Amino acid sequence: MRLSTPPPRWLVAVIGCAIVATSQAQVTAPVVTVKGQAPRDPPTEKTKSVTVLERSHMDRWQPDTVFDAVQGTPGVSVNGGPRASGMSFNIRGYDDTDDVLITLDGAQKNFEKYRFGGTFIEPELLKTISVTRGPDLLTGAGALGGSVAATTRDAADFLRPGERVGARIKYGTASVNDEIARTGIGFARPRDDVDLLVAATRRTAGDYRIADGSTLPDSNLNQRSLLAKGTWFPADDLSLGWSTSTVSNRSREAYDATGGVPGVFGVVQRMTDDTTHTASVRRGGSGWIDLIGTVGRSRIEVFDLHRPGQSQFANAITGNLRDTFDYDVTTLDLRNTSRWRTGAVSHQTTALLQAIRNARQIRRVTDNPAVNSALYPGGQNPAQPSGTRDSIGIALVHTASLGAFSVSPGLRWDRVGVTADGQTRDTMIRFGQPWEITYAEPTLSLAGTWQTPGVPLIAGYRYVQAFKPPLIDEVFTQGAFSRCTRPNLGALAPPSGICGALYRPERAVTHEWSATLPTTRLASGASLDGRLAYFRNERHHLMLSLMPVSPTEVGQPGWEYRQGVELETNLTGRMLFAGAAYTRIRGQVFDGMRLLDLFDAPGDTLALTLGARIADGMFDLGLRYRDVSARSVVVGLTTGNRPIVGRQKGYELIDLFFGWRPSRDVEFRLALDNLTNEAYELNNGFGGSIGAPAPGRNLRFAMSMQF
């Protein structure tokens, strides 16, 4: 069960060189910082694996989606694709849509739909993307892989000193799918205490061309995005903000958007509307009160029209079939941080209250009333039932620091309730099963750091518990997709065929050791930062392993084990800048019957970036090299429907970028993806198989003007 693969020699050499190079360096401030961390954070915050992608990074590569924007981040890969509706984040090998918590301006965006990604965030409207690898008590229950937090732009990001109002327009193209993107942004600070912004983006594109020149069917795009945002600063230590963002798309798509063979179940005419509202308050910044409060509501509506001859679910008997998915997610997040000292010991305590309500209504109807009555009574789709998941969590994390040492224990408690709705509730009542299932779980964390003497390095250790409650689909699914049928459980199967309370939450434990180099000024005037982390993670009670464990008992004997190495380092000089990221993950999974390689882990990935700024920043240019090794995938099934694990080949990619700013108000940018037109497959086909073919060579062009 335990693996002991050491990191490659070149990785150890890189870290050694970094330590030697900085042995005579001078830290620029008494409190060291890591990219993306606030200066007031205690040293134990440096034990978290966090990467913050700034606006400059997104401008350099001109990403089409939020998934494109995180490419090259250590520990992070993208499953599915190439369009956003078929993509999901994979962090440290966790790739289910609920394994990674996604927020926009603090509002949760997670979305459960069979073989569908469902994260719609327009990258052109973002200021930062913060990626946290691994669970954290202050993030939320269920995020075993980590979290992705996107923050939208403000007027202050555009206005220069003395300016009150302005506008920005941008026009971009992409050759691989003939995309055209247009963005308009208006911003103003009519008074010193008011920040206002409105923005709109429109993207249209055809089908993607892959390396052999053919196109990937039904990968077109027709998307509109809007953002309205305002912040009021009634006092120096108080701000009140709100934002509203929408993304809508109308296109013909594969029903199975995340499958390795798009269209295996046919195509649908799909309409997607995603709206997010947030309101926030920030009070204080030191002492006993540093309060951040967020209330958010995310509404995601997806409508699929299945036509006979186009979809496997519609035929001459059913006529047209219509699926409606309505998700309504409400977020309340209140957290306060207090800071004080007792003698030589400094203290920081963060208290958190989180409440999430995820309600979904799903309806399936056909043109044939008889089919509706027999298969979809009242519009119910037994494979995707309607329901609600309510959760409330409280957490307390305290940090004490003395000299070179700090320690940070934490405690969290969550209560999650999953409730059936409509026909599913009636079925549960009829068979005497509970239609409301409640899970209550405590989790713990412990972190510690040591500031190494003579060298500006922080050695850290982090231990985090996490749990993942069952989803609505897992608890209340009925029919062929349920695990609680006679073929699976025999005599222990409930008469309804619905699992209900048979599931128990998954539990996970993560150990992480790290060496962090805060942003440090070198003798040459350049700055260097870096982080090396080794983690081990165990997950127990896998839901996919639900099975009889005795003649009278159903259990979840499955488990997963993974370990990995992550490296991230950045060097910034007056003209040159460079970055390196490396990820290696190994693991095994026991599905209750047999031991397999962890076939949903990404291949070993090395990403190197080298760039230069010329003529006081008028020009910038550079390249990114990515080497992705072969990975384990499912290549078939045994007669017992158990996976056969094989290999998906690796690949190498070279990307280029170039920017020209002839004046402070005009900018031209070029980005060339996949310079060599490498043919390769994307990750995560259906059931962990080989993914769809990736886009070929892609030249992106963008021109922007500010007024």
Say if residues 652 and 669 touch (Cβ distance below 8 Å): no
User: pLDDT at position 456, please?
Assistant: 85
User: pLDDT at position 238, please?
Assistant: 95
491 C-beta neighbours (distance < 10 Å), count: 8
Cis peptide before 82 (omega within 30 of 0): yes
- Give the sign of the dihedral formed by CA 246, CA 251, CA 255, CA 257: negative
- What is each CA distance from 133 to 100, 145, 513, 567, in whole angstroms? 9, 6, 13, 12
Quick: pLDDT tens for 334-362. Answer: 999 999 999 999 999 999 999 999 999 99
312 C-beta neighbours (distance < 10 Å), count: 13
Cα–Cα distance between 104 and 117 in angstroms, integer?
Answer: 16
How does residue 21 score in pLDDT terms, banded at 50, 70 and 90? very low
User: pLDDT at position 24, please?
Assistant: 33
pLDDT higher than threshold 80 for residue 6 = no
Give the mean model confidence (pLDDT) for residues 259-266. Answer: 66
Say if residues 284 and 94 touch (Cβ distance below 8 Å): no
pLDDT higher than threshold 90 for residue 612 = yes
User: pLDDT at position 14, please?
Assistant: 38
Torsion over CA of 281, 285, 286 and 289, rounded to 10 degrees?
Answer: 0
How does residue 455 score in pLDDT terms, banded at 50, 70 and 90? confident
Say if residues 691 and 684 touch (Cβ distance below 8 Å): yes
How does residue 1 score in pLDDT terms, banded at 50, 70 and 90? very low
User: pLDDT at position 686, please?
Assistant: 63
Residue type at position 255: Y
363 vs 82, residue with greater confidence: 363
Instruction: Provide the phi-psi class of 483: left if phi over 0, else alpha when psi is between -120 and 50, else beta.
Output: alpha
How does residue 647 score in pLDDT terms, banded at 50, 70 and 90? confident
Please count the residues of the chain.
Answer: 707
Q: Which residues on adjacent β-strands are paired with residue 304? A: 270, 323
Q: Which of 321, 325, 292 shows the shortest CA–CA distance to 306?
A: 321
Percent of all residues in the chain with a pLDDT value above 90, rounded to a whole number: 71
- What is each CA distance from 295 to 58, 277, 397, 418, 644, in whole angstroms? 27, 8, 22, 22, 46
Cα–Cα distance between 588 and 590 in angstroms, integer?
Answer: 7
User: pLDDT at position 117, please?
Assistant: 67
Quick: pLDDT tens for 26-64. Answer: 333 222 223 333 435 666 676 789 999 999 999 999 999
pLDDT higher than threshold 50 for residue 12 = no
Q: Which residues on adjacent β-strands are paired with residue 268? A: 253
Task: Give CA 278 to chain center in angstroms.
Answer: 19
The token duo for 468 is 């993942």
Quick: pLDDT tens for 162-212. Answer: 999 999 999 999 999 999 999 999 999 999 999 999 999 999 999 999 999
Give the mean model confidence (pLDDT) for residues 592-606. Answer: 89
User: pLDDT at position 44, please?
Assistant: 66
- What is each CA distance from 316 to 263, 320, 322, 669, in whole angstroms? 19, 9, 15, 51
pLDDT higher than threshold 60 for residue 462 = yes
Q: Which position has the token pair 């940090």? A: 399
Residue type at position 407: V
Averaged confidence pLDDT in the chain:
88
User: pLDDT at position 636, please?
Assistant: 77
The token duo for 107 is 């509002």
How does residue 252 score in pLDDT terms, banded at 50, 70 and 90? confident
The token duo for 389 is 């998941």
Q: Which of 183, 185, 189, 184 shows the shortest CA–CA distance to 159?
A: 189
User: pLDDT at position 685, please?
Assistant: 66
User: pLDDT at position 329, please?
Assistant: 95
- What is each CA distance from 517 to 23, 222, 530, 565, in whole angstroms? 11, 44, 5, 16
Task: Give CA 633 to chain center in angstroms.
Answer: 21
**The pairing of beta strand 100-104 with beta strand 146-152:** parallel
Q: Which of 613, 624, 519 shows the shortest CA–CA distance to 571?
A: 519
For 569-612, what is the HEC assignment?
A: EEEECCCEEEEEEEEEEEEEEECCCCEEECCCCCCCEEEEEEEE
**What DSSP assignment string belongs to 115-152?**
T-------GGGEEEEEEEES--TTT-TT-SSEEEEEEE
How does residue 453 score in pLDDT terms, banded at 50, 70 and 90? confident
Say if residues 679 and 693 touch (Cβ distance below 8 Å): yes
- What is each CA distance from 607 to 4, 42, 70, 517, 627, in whole angstroms? 24, 30, 12, 19, 7
Helix, strand, coil percentages in the chain from 3-state DSSP, rounded to 5: 10, 55, 35
18-27, 81-90, 309-318 — most confident range: 309-318
Task: Give CA 2 to chain center in angstroms.
Answer: 28
DSSP 60: H
Cα–Cα distance between 681 and 216 in angstroms, integer?
Answer: 12
User: pLDDT at position 646, please?
Assistant: 85
Q: Which domains does the chain have, with CATH numbers?
A: 9-706 (2.40.170.20)
Torsion over CA of 506, 507, 509 and 510, rounded to 10 degrees?
Answer: 30
Cα–Cα distance between 627 and 680 in angstroms, integer?
Answer: 12
How does residue 261 score in pLDDT terms, banded at 50, 70 and 90? low
pTM > 0.95: no
- Give the sign of the dihedral formed by CA 539, CA 544, CA 546, CA 547: negative
Cα–Cα distance between 599 and 340 in angstroms, integer?
Answer: 48
- What is each CA distance from 696 to 82, 345, 677, in whole angstroms? 11, 57, 5
Residue type at position 199: A
Any alpha helices (H) in 176-250, and if so which ranges? Answer: none
pLDDT higher than threshold 90 for residue 553 = yes
User: pLDDT at position 262, please?
Assistant: 57
Q: Which position has the token pair 């989803």? A: 471
Question: CB-based contacts of 374: which residues, under 8 Å, 6+ apart?
Answer: none
Q: Which position has the token pair 């509203």? A: 244
Quick: pLDDT tens for 554-584. Answer: 999 999 999 999 999 999 998 999 999 999 9
258 vs 318, residue with greater confidence: 318
User: pLDDT at position 40, please?
Assistant: 52
Quick: pLDDT tens for 219-242. Answer: 888 999 999 999 999 999 999 999
The token duo for 604 is 């070993």
User: pLDDT at position 639, please?
Assistant: 62
DSSP 371: H
Say if residues 381 and 362 touch (Cβ distance below 8 Å): yes
Instruction: Provide the phi-psi class of 218: left if phi over 0, else alpha when psi is between -120 and 50, else beta.
Output: left
**What DSSP assignment string belongs to 429-458?**
HHTT--SEEEEEEEEEEEEEEEE-TTS--E
Cα–Cα distance between 554 and 326 in angstroms, integer?
Answer: 33
Say if residues 308 and 320 touch (Cβ distance below 8 Å): yes
User: pLDDT at position 336, please?
Assistant: 96
3-state SS, residue 254: strand
Q: Which of 607, 562, 565 shows the shortest CA–CA distance to 584?
A: 565
